Amino acid sequence: MASRRRPGAPADFEEIRPNLFLIHNPALGPVLRGEGERDGFHFHLTSWRRAGLLGRLASRGFVTLTIPDRIAALPAPPSAQLGPPRRLTISAKQQLSVLDLNAPNGWRSLPASPDGVLELLEGQIVRRRHGRGPADYLRITATGWQTLPAEEAILAAYGQLPDSPSLRLASTAEGWMMPEIPLPEAYRNVLGMIAQPHPAGWLLAGELEREWGEMIVTKLGVNVVGAVL
């Protein structure tokens, strides 16, 4: 029998917010009865039988796409490939930074010598900014540098962090606050499905949101601490 899934949809049942799904295949309607509230193509799961519902859908041949599925599909940081030190000369208007989750906004500035010379490791990822202009990203090479797309550069920079950095979640009356840190776009997109933008970073309003937020940053090799409300 041909699938009744909406053309172009990534799955029959797609999670777009915690426990909020898009129904892309009307044939799965009978399986959803008694498990939540339906509003057109939207379905809000309200029962505690989340795992059971997803299992029943899978056993009937339906394809589901959950937020944990999206997290599992995120690319992991590549292994650090660092070589010998290289000397780089920059102009007075350039500012180079390296990823450091303890620094403001996650980037630590690298001071150059009075003559504009920096010593960096071959393969090291740095962020470059010209004055107050937009940033770009570089990989240090034997002869200078290579520009990289932001997505690739930020992911590689996480693979170069020493040891396992920690990220502290602060408990608030609203939930848990995750500080703003540099994230590859794919990671930021998934985090945006579970967290609310906040002046202090990202608000994880519930236990499920906190758990999945931890999963996202843990995939980058970051340890989460202070997550008890």
From the number of C-beta atoms within 10 Å of its C-beta (0-12, 13-18, 19+), residue 13 rates as buried
- Smallest Cα–Cα separation from 155: which of 137, 178, 129? 137
Of 84-93, 120-129, 145-154, 193-202, the poorest mean pLDDT is in: 84-93
Q: Which contacts qualify for 50-55: CB closer than 8 Å, 24 or more apart?
A: 50/19
pLDDT 10s digits, 17-66: 999 999 999 999 999 999 999 999 999 999 999 999 999 999 999 999 99
pLDDT 10s digits, 88-140: 888 878 899 999 999 988 999 998 888 888 999 999 999 999 877 889 999 99
Domain ranges of the chain: 13-65, 85-159, 166-225
pTM assigned to the model: 0.90
DSSP 100: -
pLDDT 10s digits, 55-96: 999 999 999 999 999 999 999 999 888 999 999 888 878 899
pLDDT of the residue at 227: 55
